[in-house]
Structure 1
Amino acid sequence: MTTRRLATLHVWGVPGWSVPAALMRMATGRRPLRRAPGLRFAKLLGTGSGRTFTVRDADPRRWALLAVWDDERSAAAFESGDVVRRWQRIADEQWSARMRPLAARGRWSRAEPFGKPWPQRWDGPVAAVTRARLTPRKAVTFWRAVPPVSADLHDSPGLRLALGIGEAPLGLQGTFSVWDSAAALNSFAYDRAPHAAVVTRTAQEGWYAEELFARLALLSAEGTVAGRDPLA
């Protein structure tokens, strides 16, 4: 049961000449993360547009770290630690967010990273995290179904930020999005035809070997993505 967990997302933009260094940090960054006090879960992630969930989407100049902490003190201590500093040294842009889990179902790498949050009211901006591991033989039909949903997502009222996120270029992917309110997110998830159709097909076709959906209260955020503050 979750009462105090805090989730954080760091998004770093790097100049072209720093891409090799970013790839090195992705390859070597897991061990120092495991030593972070109070860390419950962490994933170093590539990012992209999320429009097709294929290699074409990948953005080698933007990388992310999603982490879940026992409490705010652990997250704050990490902010001044070596992992964040090493990314900041090669980044020319950064955006970070602090979030409290509101609802979560499913698993990521066989874990429940956000626990089982208490249902609670939240009237501010919300973030949504989706993640799926595709069943290989179902991947092609999934990729064909994605473009209409992605186009509708990016046109949805109340959307502030949408990123494709993934641990690998193919087969392991998800989205991170920020919305004005829970009502705006609900409208996209349940009222708009392209997404509703894919939800129905997901159950029918068994696209995913593992999936996760989480909703989080966006407590605070700072910085920019692609030169703008998503909450401004």
Structure 2
Amino acid sequence: MSDTSTAIMASFHLVRYGDAGAMRHMALDRPLLRAAGGPVFWRLLGTGRGTSMSLGADLRRWALFAVWRGERRLDAFLRDSPVAARWRAEAVESWHVRLAPLAWRGRWGGADPFAGAVPPAHPPTGPVAVLTRASIRPSRLAAFYRSVPGVDRALRQQEGRLASVGVGEWPLARQATFSLWRDAAAVRAFAYGLPSHREVISRVRTERWYGEELFARFAPYAAEGTWDGRDPLT
């Protein structure tokens, strides 16, 4: 990123608490994130128990995905926000990563979260983070969730996957997956190399499963903390 003071960048924060009472923060944190000087786009997200979108929820683990106008805004949030202070005080585990947008398509809540971002002319080599997000049509929920176990199984077994987690705004209908990969080749191998995954992608298009979707790739950097006991990027 050439000008970290104003360049559009993103962050992902995965936080585990000691009990399910942390669910209350999904409501209490919203006005704090709306405060002036905060992220230009953000979503508080519940997490699933699997590696991709799933029906099972982990009520002790929550996530924040945010887009910032420059490193300084994120630095100020991590230093001064009551949200970040509570992470430090109450979380039993947390992992935080900064993300440089590489490529994206689609919308989230009718908006382009990365408007104004400038992808690098020469994408860096090394690890890649992927965010896939969808608003599933009610009439397609059954078909979507029948496809999840096969995709989740393939994702767990895929060479080059460093870590992944299913996240969501609403139960069932607004789902996403955040994943980390060894490199761009590993991402392509999963997306297009597995017949089972290609079949799901084809059905998504032909049967119009999604009312809205977003696919984004990032260069992850400056990670700290642990995710299931380790930093998957080291």
Q: Say yes or no: TM over 0.5.
A: yes
Change (3 A) 1:54 1:153: closer
* 2:146 corresponds to: 144
Cα displacement (A) at 1:38: 5.0
Residues 46-73 of structure 1, C-alpha deviations (whole Å, 9 max, x = no match) = 1113467443x21111111110001111
- Correspondence for 1:9 among 9, 12, 15: 12
Give runs of aligned pairs for residues 1-232 of structure 1, distance below 5 A. 4-16=7-19, 19-20=20-21, 22-37=22-37, 39-50=39-50, 53-55=53-55, 57-81=56-80, 82-115=82-115, 117-118=118-119, 120-232=122-234
Counterpart CA distance in 1 for 2:185 and 2:114 is 21
Q: Please say if residues 97 and 221 of structure 2, whose CA atoms lie closer than 8 Å, have aligned partners that are also in contact.
A: yes
3-state SS of 2:170 partner: coil
3-state SS of 1:206 partner: coil
Return structure 1 stretches of 4+ with deviation > 3 angstroms.
Answer: 49-55
Cα displacement (A) at 1:220: 2.0
3-state SS of 1:231 partner: coil
3-state SS of 2:172 partner: coil
3-state SS of 2:180 partner: strand
Cα displacement (A) at 1:192: 1.5
**Which is worse superposed, 126-135 or 73-82?**
73-82
Cα displacement (A) at 1:136: 0.2
Cα displacement (A) at 1:145: 1.5
Counterpart CA distance in 2 for 1:205 and 1:223 is 41
Q: How many residues align?
A: 226
Output the TM-score relative to the length of structure 2. Answer: 0.91
Counterpart CA distance in 1 for 2:166 and 2:176 is 6
3-state SS of 2:131 partner: strand
Q: Please say if residues 124 and 218 of structure 1, whose CA atoms lie closer than 8 Å, have aligned partners that are also in contact.
A: no
Structure 1 unmatched runs, 5+: none
Which letter does structure 2 place at the counterpart of 1:96?
H
